[in-house]
Structure 1
Amino acid sequence: MSEELPAGLLRLPPLREVIARHGLNAKKSLGQNFLLDGNLLDRIARVPGPLAGATVYEVGPGPGGLTRALLRAGARVVAVERDSRTAPALAELAEAAEGRLTVLDADAMTVDAAALAGRGAHIVSNLPYNIGTALLTGWLSGDEWPPWWASLTLMFQREVAERLVAAPGNGAYGRLSVLAQWRTQAKIAFTLPPRAFVPAPKVESAVVHFVPIVPMAAATAAKLSALTAAAFGQRRKMLRASLKAMPGALEAMVAEGISPEQRAETVPVAAFARAAARLG
């Protein structure tokens, strides 16, 4: 595909050189850990499938490593970055991309991503660790389903990634597992060691891919969120105790064949979804 790329992208200096020239040391306060290995970045860009002609929404591009990989894959990229230090480097990348990269100086927690990227966009991001879970739950909890995005390909700490894909009975299974799996297919695409990043974090990371599916039940995200918050809020307690303060919750679970003596960590995702639907 290299012959189809804008010539400017082919002439870009190495990412490490860009970082050094602009003084872009990763800031812990912004949850930044830069991934510089071009092969790994291209591997992330391949996870959603072919991106030629597609729109990708990226949060926190930093110096633009993943952005470059997405552009190399043929995507049009809309990126949101709140670290103003990266603006000159990203402006150079946007110029080289010849209209295929739009960068907004904004907070990803407050922007209207759907309006920026448009329906059918893929979300691909090495998410800042400090806001990754909050952004994900927002994208999973929209009232409209199928959602505006076509897929999510996101980087998390490995511990968080394992919670997202965990099955009932697994020690990692919890509220985040249910919220992720009731209306998406979530899988870990691959893991990355700390040494892949600058600076190296203390934990391993993992790329998780999410594809929307038909919901397991006609529950609302708000009801499912409330039910799982109550059930897992005291995860070592039986449901008859943990759901005591939520009217109708235990009865809804029993109607789905779940025993009051069970603990939340043993309840299947589908049972949670159907019980939440019973709550209206």
Structure 2
Amino acid sequence: MPPLREVIARHGLAASKALGQNFILDAQLLDRIAAIPGPLDGARVYEVGPGPGGLTRALLRAGAEVIAVERDRRCLPALAELAEAVGGRLRIIEGDALAIDEPKEIGPAHVVANLPYNVGTALLTRWLEAERWPPWWRSLTLMFQREVAERIVASPGGAAYGRLAVLAQWRTTARLAMKVNRAAFVPPPKVMSAVVHIVPAEQPEGVDPNRLARLTGAAFGQRRKMLRRSLSAVDGALEALDRLGIDPERRAETLSVGEFVALARAL
């Protein structure tokens, strides 16, 4: 395949602000991202928003079988060239990732993606809130704005700790795998980025994911208020706090992931 810059120029591709696109052209950096999930030789990988195919190339160099979903029709000819060059190891789906039935259309796979900024959190939330566990995905290696990445891996007590941290950590292991300077992108975004790696873990028994989601939504929806106020509209929550010995005058950001799990189980 010709150099990525040449492909981008030949097809007249420019990152679309409306689609939240920022391209990475540094092959060494892309290879480092592709290495985060571990060996991918012969593994199935699902990529969201491949754009001109920079990360896709790195995944293919790692030996992966790649399924990529792209809604930007401008990028499809460049991706089609790449698919033809690798002899069936790349399948392109034209469409919106939010509309994909992944268990049916993708199957067991590692997810590796430089997620478009405007859909990244929505996709992550959907993947983490799945009722069926273990999920269809084997691991998530995802590029986010650094602020969002720090919220995913945050510990209790800090300003970054919130609903997203509890959602990510109650039945997965999440770590910040790599920080990425804004200068690595074309065009450079206004913010720094980071890659988060998430692996499914065992789900605590007796906890309904929907109940935990509603509980954390209420608690962090009014995070400056004490739990006795923020959880007052959740049936049985105040009584559960009392049974568990959790001070109702604490604020949501002081509760550990384990305490939220215990509270959801008590409800």
TM-score, with length taken from structure 2: 0.98
Q: Residue in 2 aligned with 1:89? A: 78
Letter in 2 for 1:55: R
**After superposition, where does 1:88-167 map in structure 2 within 5 Å?**
88-119=77-108, 121-167=109-155
Secondary structure of the structure 2 residue equivalent to 1:147? coil
Letter in 1 for 2:15: A
Report the Cα offset of residue 217 of structure 1.
4.4
Alignment pair present for 1:248 and 2:247: no
Q: What is the alpha-carbon distance in structure 2 between the residues aligned to residue 68 and residue 187 of structure 1?
A: 25
**After superposition, where does 1:1-280 map in structure 2 within 5 Å?**
12-119=1-108, 121-279=109-267
Secondary structure of the structure 2 residue equivalent to 1:104? strand
Q: What is the alpha-carbon distance in structure 2 between the residues aligned to residue 253 and residue 96 of structure 1?
A: 59
Report the Cα offset of residue 203 of structure 1.
0.6
Letter in 2 for 1:148: W
Q: What is the alpha-carbon distance in structure 1 between the residues aligned to residue 91 and residue 15 of structure 2?
A: 22
* Native 8 Å contact 2:102 2:136 kept in 1: no
Structure 1 consecutive aligned stretches of length 4 or more whose deviation exceeds 3 Å: none
* Native 8 Å contact 1:191 1:206 kept in 2: yes
Q: What is the alpha-carbon distance in structure 2 between the residues aligned to residue 256 and residue 38 of structure 1?
A: 52
TM-score, with length taken from structure 1: 0.94
Q: Which runs of 5+ in 1 are unaligned?
A: 1-11
Cα deviation digits, residues 78-111 of structure 1 (max 9, x gap): 0000000001000000001100000010100011
Letter in 2 for 1:167: S
* Native 8 Å contact 1:253 1:271 kept in 2: no
- Percent identity, please: 66
Q: What is the alpha-carbon distance in structure 1 between the residues aligned to residue 187 and residue 238 of structure 2?
A: 47
Secondary structure of the structure 2 residue equivalent to 1:29? coil
Q: What is the alpha-carbon distance in structure 2 between the residues aligned to residue 255 and residue 213 of structure 1?
A: 28
Q: What is the alpha-carbon distance in structure 2 between the residues aligned to residue 238 and residue 272 of structure 1?
A: 15
Letter in 1 for 2:150: E
CA separation of 1:59/1:97 partners in 2, compared to 1, >3 Å: closer, same or farther?
Answer: same
Report the Cα offset of residue 254 of structure 1.
3.1
Q: What is the alpha-carbon distance in structure 2 between the residues aligned to residue 197 and residue 250 of structure 1?
A: 48
Could you say what the CA RMSD is over the residues aligned between the two structures, in angstroms?
Answer: 0.9
Q: What is the alpha-carbon distance in structure 1 between the residues aligned to residue 40 and residue 53 of structure 2?
A: 17
Secondary structure of the structure 2 residue equivalent to 1:265? helix
Cα deviation digits, residues 155-206 of structure 1 (max 9, x gap): 0000000000000011110000000000110000010011000010011000
Cα deviation digits, residues 96-133 of structure 1 (max 9, x gap): 110000001010001111222212x1000000000000
Q: What is the alpha-carbon distance in structure 1 between the residues aligned to residue 216 and residue 254 of structure 2?
A: 12
Q: What is the alpha-carbon distance in structure 1 between the residues aligned to residue 31 and residue 25 of structure 2?
A: 11
Q: Give the number of equivalent residue pairs.
A: 267
Q: What is the alpha-carbon distance in structure 2 between the residues aligned to residue 49 and residue 218 of structure 1?
A: 32
Q: Which runs of 5+ in 2 are unaligned?
A: none
